[in-house]
Amino acid sequence: MNKRLLLVLLGAAHSLNHSLFLILPPLLNTIAKELGASLEIIGFLVTVSGLIYGAGALIGGPWSDRLGEVKVIRTSLALSGASTLMFIVARDVITFSVGLLLMGVGASLYHPTANNLISKVFQAKTAEAMGLHGVGGNVGFMFTPSIAVVLGLAFGWRVSYVFFGLLSLLVSFLFLLTPYQTARNKSVENRIFHVFKIPGLWILIVFGVVIGLYSQGIGLFFPTFLSQRRGFSVELAAHAATFILVLGTIGQWLGGRAADLIGCAKIIVALSVSVLAGLLLLLFVPNPLMGVFLFILLYGVASYGQQPPLTVLAGLIAPEEERGAAYGVFFFFTFGLGSVSTTLAGYYAERYSLDAAFHAMALISLVALLLSFLIPARIRHPNKGSLDY
């Protein structure tokens, strides 16, 4: 299997890893009503699942260094895919939460492992490879909200979960065909402890956490915001969420390309400005349709475009033998702690309004913009010395 085919397969895996969590937002009202749960409860469950999703990266990243990236990716897909079968018997909040949490456990192993593999196999133009990995994911999972709604309305929301779960099991099997393995022998505990001492990692972690604090809340409640506050139908709101992912495909590619050409730090600042601008337009443009359109355009490109340069920086400052562990720590903080956003947004939505929740997300994006100016354009590479990025 050549590198291009590997990247295609990773794109499919990336797609499905996210797809499993993109089923809930467009079907949120349907699932909540059937299970007798409030938006706040569902938001809390998603937060717990997100914390597990992030915490599992602390295991997945080091395992990828020790056991080999492909083995861990295959295991992640198999576990997360099989967990969707739990939803077949889910008739209450407790059973649903068990399925959601098991899904988070399996899926949690993927991101640091895939990033670790890409950084080692694609050492030239790493940011572009990271961007294409994101593009591959977006091309597939940008259709998830619409597919989930179509399947959910026709056959029930459980079928939506099982459909993507079976696809995950299939891709897990296909990874048996790839020869790439880069196993290490150091102990997991020592590497995790040492990662916290890597200079420069903490500013990236704090910035990533703040990004997660607005992006995950927006991702969960945006379709509901459109249907309840902007008069969109459920189907149209799902399509709007899909269009964000379509633009995210462009953003992933542009973010990776621009980071290699201009520099990671500069691109991160520019895209942080765009995220804040998009949220302000959504909330304050008098014409609701125009505000939604401008938000989707700016936020879709910018929020996804930030991922390749930020991921590249997190990997560059870590020695290769500890890169999986570094990505695990980075993902745990940025996604795991960032998942508190869903509880925060759910709290504001229940206590005040969905508008108040999105105002809170805009304020957090302002904090992210201010933090982006602190990300250094020149970093200390463990093997190559000081480099401009």
For 316-363, write each residue's pLDDT tens digit. 777 777 778 888 888 787 776 666 777 777 777 778 888 888 988 899
Q: What is the pLDDT of residue 383?
A: 47
Give domain status of residue 378, yes or no.
yes
Q: What backbone phi and psi angles, to 5 degrees, belong to 39?
A: -60, -35
Give domain status of residue 15, yes or no.
yes
- Cα distance between residue 118 and residue 379, in whole Å: 20
Structure confidence at residue 216 as a pLDDT band (50, 70, 90):
confident
Lowest mean pLDDT among 87-101, 104-118, 194-208, 227-241: 194-208
Give me the chain's average pLDDT, please.
83
Give domain status of residue 334, yes or no.
yes
Give strand pairing partners of 387: 379
Predicted confidence (pLDDT) at residue 380 exceeds the cutoff of 70: no
Structure confidence at residue 311 as a pLDDT band (50, 70, 90):
confident
Number of C-beta neighbours around residue 201 at 10 A: 19
Tally of structural domains, the chain: 1
| Nearest in space to 209 (alpha carbons), one of 90, 368, 96 | 368
Give domain status of residue 185, yes or no.
no
Q: Following DSSP, what letter does each residue of 276-327 receive, concatenated?
A: HHHHHHHHH-SSHHHHHHHHHHHHHHHHHHTHHHHHHHHHHTS-GGGHHHHH
Give domain status of residue 303, yes or no.
yes
Q: What is the pLDDT of residue 191?
A: 61
Span 63-93, pLDDT tens digits: 887 888 888 999 999 999 999 999 998 888 8
Predicted confidence (pLDDT) at residue 136 exceeds the cutoff of 80: no
Give domain status of residue 248, yes or no.
yes
SS3 379: strand
Structure confidence at residue 245 as a pLDDT band (50, 70, 90):
confident
pTM over 0.85: no
Span 8-22, pLDDT tens digits: 889 889 989 888 888
Structure confidence at residue 296 as a pLDDT band (50, 70, 90):
very high
For residue 303, the enclosing domain spans 3-173+196-382
Give domain status of residue 388, yes or no.
no
Token pair of 57 as six digits: 């990266």
The CATH number given to whatever domain includes residue 103 is: 1.20.1250.20
Span 151-160, pLDDT tens digits: 998 998 899 9
- Highest-confidence segment of 171-180, 300-309, 377-386: 300-309
The pLDDT of 111-120, averaged and rounded, is: 86
